Amino acid sequence: MGMIVGSHFNTWPAIKNMGIDVVGTLENIGIKLEFPVTDHIEWWGLLLID
């Protein structure tokens, strides 16, 4: 079960909802996603620095 967030104002939006092309961004750094997922799930994160 996930962690309970005290306020929805403190949550982070999904990167795909911010207009970031997740598949394209991963392919640009050499990571190929394959759909449908049949073997195992891999989790990826993105750190944005301004």
Does the residue 22 lie in any domain? yes
Which pLDDT band, with edges at 50, 70 and 90, does 45 fall under?
Answer: confident
Dihedral angle, C-alpha 10, 19, 28, 44, nearest 10 ° = 30
Asked if residue 50 has pLDDT above 80, the reply is no
- pLDDT tens across 4-41, in order? 656 666 667 777 788 888 889 889 999 888 888 888 88
Output the pLDDT for position 28: 93
Output the pLDDT for position 6: 62
- Structural domain that includes position 22: 13-40
Output the pLDDT for position 7: 63
Domain count, the chain: 1
Does the residue 27 lie in any domain? yes
Asked if 30 and 24 touch (Cβ cutoff 8 Å), the reply is no
